Amino acid sequence: MTPVDTVRGRLAAARRKLWTDGNGWILLTVSGGWLLTLGVRIVYPALLPDIMGSFGVGYTGGGVLLSALWAAYALMQFPGGLAADWVGEKRVILGSVGSVLVAIVAVVVAPTYGIFVAATVLLGLGAGLYGTSRVTIVTDVFPENKTTAVSFTQAAGNVGTAVLPVVAGGIAVAFGWRLGFGYLVPLFVLVMVGIIAFIPRRTSAEPEAGAGLNRAFLDDLRGAVLNRDVILITLLQLSLMTYYQGMTGFLPTYLIDIKGFSQTFASTVFGAFFVTAIAMQFVSGLVADRYGQRRTIVLFVLIALPAAVALPVLDSRAAVIGATLMAAGVLGAFPPSHTYAVDLIPDALQGSGYGLIRTVYIGGAAGAPPVVGWLADGGQFDLAITLLGATTLLVVGLCIVLPDVTAGQ
């Protein structure tokens, strides 16, 4: 059997396992929701020049807007996970999608910058409810192929990040940037229908009788997250997310202002960045299920690190494009880092525990866009990109000291 046949066989086997007992519809619905809730946040960087021009703000102001979006998103990770433990994942993700839908409508009609920012914060809060339950649902439904299933949802999110901003940009050119958000409204309605039809009320273990936000619960939660391995994986994810937020938030602007790309071409390269990430994440799930999460995280970070650090010193258009696409390799490290973290948390605290971890690392990384914007306003855009690449060195070091959890599944 050739290596190609082996890969095809493994892909076919994974596809069969993910589609058994009607679970494929669950995976598609959850992935569709992630596609939209992640993709709509990446519409902001694609339309950032139009937004800044419309409301008269600079790079630092644009970074603060992106930071507000991500901070609001982070704020809801723990409450979203906690709510999933108490009332079930279905109600949480349904509320998430509904809130984002309302926020998009508000963004489209916002008459002032203040209302626009408030709608953006609401969008971040609503989207924040989705992230934790998205991971716990697929890890519960697909226990034997959880990293592959998480990789599928993560890759679906990157379809959203690759496609939605490009479509939004085209619509913005023809009809204005507000409709670059507005076209998403019917897609969110469709996902809401899928959630109602296919998602079970809950997939995780029922909380114990009398469970709630009491002393015993808080003691259990503290014990679940305040241990060496959980703290280290949280720091690892903080490093990955700092890179992600800083890089994706300003990548189109960097390509336009520093590398001299046109806005249309920069948007296309931005979309290609996420297309590359889709492939990276599909492969990373298969690799992690076979060889373990730690090795996979290091592999994909080492793919991206040289490219990100080299990007500021490259001049030719071909080299810049190649480095930009390789810099997407870090996104392949996210699925194994997610499943590694979930594996460390007891089942009964999975939603709240992992939600708290996500609040910490996503909220901490929300400081990256304003720093990038501040450096850009000071003429140090290249330095900002280099520093973002350097943050991933911490990931490699942490993987060396973290133990194996589910290698070889």
CB 251 within 8 A of CB 273: yes
pLDDT digits (tens, 9 = 90+) for 327-367: 998 888 888 888 888 788 877 676 678 778 888 899 999 99
Chain centroid, CA 151 distance in Å:
11
d(CA 127, CA 198): 20
Rounded to whole angstroms, how far apart are CA atoms 359 and 77?
5
Phi-psi region of 92 (alpha: psi -120 to 50; beta: other; left: phi over 0): alpha
Closest CA to 376 of 267, 256, 269, 266: 256
Average pLDDT of the chain is 84
Out of 91-95, 230-234, 333-337, 398-402, the most confident range is 91-95
Asked whether residue 408 carries a pLDDT value surpassing 50, the answer given is: no
What proportion of the chain, given as a percentage, has pLDDT over 90?
Answer: 34
| pLDDT exceeds 80 at position 16 | no
pLDDT confidence of residue 122: 96
The string of pLDDT tens digits covering residues 152-199 is 887 788 789 889 988 988 888 888 899 999 999 999 999 999 999 888
pLDDT band at 18 (very low <50, low <70, confident <90, very high): low
Residue 339, CA distances (Å) to 139, 145, 336 in order:
8, 11, 5
Instruction: Report the alpha-carbon distance of residue 177 to residue 185 in Å, rounded.
Output: 15
Quick: pLDDT tens for 54-82. Answer: 888 889 988 999 999 999 998 887 787 77
**Predicted local confidence at residue 24, as pLDDT:** 80
For residue 14, pLDDT over 60 is answered with: no
Dist. CA 212–CA 86, nearest whole Å: 8
pLDDT at position 8 over 80? no
Q: CB-hemisphere CA count at 13 Å for 265?
A: 12
The answer to whether 384 and 376 have CB atoms below 8 angstroms apart is yes
* Cβ(366)–Cβ(124) below 8 Å: no
- 236 against 263, higher pLDDT: 236
Specify the higher pLDDT residue, 376 or 24. 376
What is the distance between the alpha carbons of residues 248 and 107, in angstroms, rounded to a whole number? Answer: 21
pLDDT tens digits along 370-383 = 999 999 999 999 99
pLDDT of residue 405: 62
> Would you say residue 17 has pLDDT above 70?
no
- pTM of structure: 0.79
pLDDT tens by residue, 212-252: 556 766 776 776 677 888 888 889 999 999 999 999 999 98
